[in-house]
């Protein structure tokens, strides 16, 4: 945010940064409450938008170090003896996690749901279960990952794409 502000301060009259669940940010963008959206949504059904690739955000597996030390690790074994702590179905990351597990043919016992990465990682750290999250989600909680093992998920083939979306021609070269 701070680097973005530094880049844009000479080119904008007013800048407000907002964050939240994807659905509320998409609604705000479609209602013209915000001009530029950075999201994992494509909004392909909306005409008159320009889209710019920002990054590929890989899916990761988080498990308590105390739980993984006691076993010959495999995701199948982990799913069979420990519950999944997941993002709720209202969050895009929760929906994507379900898709990834289906692709991997993993049947997980979901015991806890949250929409907050800090809560999710605290539950994992304290040994209540394992979780799937993305690298960007993990970056929010790097200060609190002691006791959590973060592992590549499925050879890093599972990821979401983050893009910047703006209305064509309305923001000039800013997007």
| pLDDT tens column, 132-148 | 999 999 998 988 789 99
Supply 1's token pair: 């945010």
pTM over 0.85: no
Average pLDDT over residues 166-172: 93
The larger pLDDT score, comparing residue 21 to residue 11, is at 11
Q: Which of 11-15, 23-27, 141-145 is least confident?
A: 11-15
**Interstrand relation of 84-87 and 110-114 (parallel, antiparallel or unpaired):** parallel
**Per-residue pLDDT for 70 more than 80?**
no
Tokens, residue 163: 């893009």
Mean pLDDT of 150-160: 87
Residue 169 has pLDDT above 70, yes or no: yes
Q: Count the neighbouring beta carbons within 10 Å of the beta carbon of residue 172.
A: 8
Q: What are phi and psi of 130, to 5 degrees?
A: -120, 170
């Amino acid at each position: 945010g701070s680097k973005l502000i530094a880049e844009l301060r000479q080119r904008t009259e007013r800048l407000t940064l907002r964050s939240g669940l994807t659905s509320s940010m998409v609604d705000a963008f479609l209602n013209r409450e915000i001009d530029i959206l950075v999201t994992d949504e494509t909004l392909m059904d909306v005409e008159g938008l320009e889209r710019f690739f920002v990054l590929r955000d890989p899916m990761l597996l988080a498990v308590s170090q105390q739980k993984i030390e006691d076993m010959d690790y495999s995701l199948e074994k982990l799913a069979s003896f420990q519950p999944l702590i997941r993002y709720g179905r209202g969050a895009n990351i929760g929906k994507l996690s379900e898709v990834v597990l289906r692709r991997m043919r993993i049947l997980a016992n979901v015991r806890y749901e949250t929409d907050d990465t800090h809560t999710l990682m605290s539950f994992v750290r304290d040994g209540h279960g394992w979780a799937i999250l993305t690298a960007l989600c993990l970056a929010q909680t790097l200060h609190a990952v002691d006791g959590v093992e973060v592992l590549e998920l499925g050879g890093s083939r599972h990821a979401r794409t983050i893009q910047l979306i703006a209305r064509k021609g309305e923001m000039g070269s800013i997007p």
